[in-house]
Amino acid sequence: MNTRKNSGGATSTPVKRQGTTKRTASSGPASERRDHLVKLAAELFARKGFQATTVREIAEEAGILSGSLYHHFDSKETIVDEVLTTFLDDLVGRYRAALEQEGEPRAILSEMVRIGFSTLEPHRAAITVMQNDWNYLRSLPGDRFDYLVKAEDEVERMWVEQIKLGQAVGQFRADVDPKLTYRMIRDTIWVAVRWFRPGGRLNTTGLAEHYITVLFDGLATGERSSHSA
């Protein structure tokens, strides 16, 4: 999810965020306008960085005055909250659903890999913000962005538990560290957002299947060895 060195048991509650927001249950043109503004802002955050992007730039991108933007959002932080929680709610919710299938660990882990790669297109901006602005958001005063750590910790627990289950039933090697293995998988998926381009030779489904093959079947042929060549 991000690349911090010290980075999730599943529950049925969504990712929680702190802070004020003007989001309502309204629908129609006003809601569509708000969603449009969030998408525009997300692209700016991904391209320039959250810290470097100003409210004025978001408003200019949308073709409105800065004051009009405050009609929808009380701060830039509220906008990025919506960008990130939309991504995290989708990701964590789909991981929880995969775990509820109660399949064998290898099958569940494969599905979790597919879920991760499938977010690269719809949540590209949010994933980029998570990678580039994690430390800055976490450094802001108060506990507004504590949900980032809570969500990542929950995701890590999900993955690590499945790896340990696979080791316990003999599907996965017992001589690998579950947490380190998860973090290597995590980083492979999220860093792909930097080079993956829609419309290329492989779509996200193809990327996931290729990675699953390498993850479970390996790269080398012949007898496995833990020694360097």
Instruction: Give a yes or no: residue 8 inside a domain.
Output: no
Instruction: Give a yes or no: residue 125 inside a domain.
Output: yes
Instruction: Give a yes or no: residue 11 inside a domain.
Output: no
Instruction: Give a yes or no: residue 61 inside a domain.
Output: no
Instruction: Give a yes or no: residue 32 inside a domain.
Output: no
> What's the CA gap between 76 and 3, in Å, rounded?
24
Domain that holds residue 110: 75-217
Question: What is the pLDDT averaged over residues 12-32?
Answer: 55
Q: Please say whether the beta carbons of 158 and 99 come within 8 A.
A: yes
For 195, residues 6+ apart whose C-beta sits below 8 A from its C-beta are: none
Q: Output 65 or 5, whichever has higher pLDDT.
A: 65
Instruction: Give a yes or no: residue 10 inside a domain.
Output: no
Report how far Cα 160 is from the mean position of its chain's Cα atoms: 17
Instruction: Give a yes or no: residue 226 inside a domain.
Output: no
How far are the Cα atoms of 25, 34, 194 from residue 28, in angstroms, in the given order?
A: 10, 10, 34
Residue 201: CATH number of its domain? 1.10.357.10
Instruction: Give a yes or no: residue 139 inside a domain.
Output: yes
Is 90 exceeded by the pLDDT of residue 148? Answer: yes
Mean pLDDT of the chain: 87
pTM comes to 0.83
- Residue-level pLDDT at 203: 94
- Count structural domains, the chain: 1
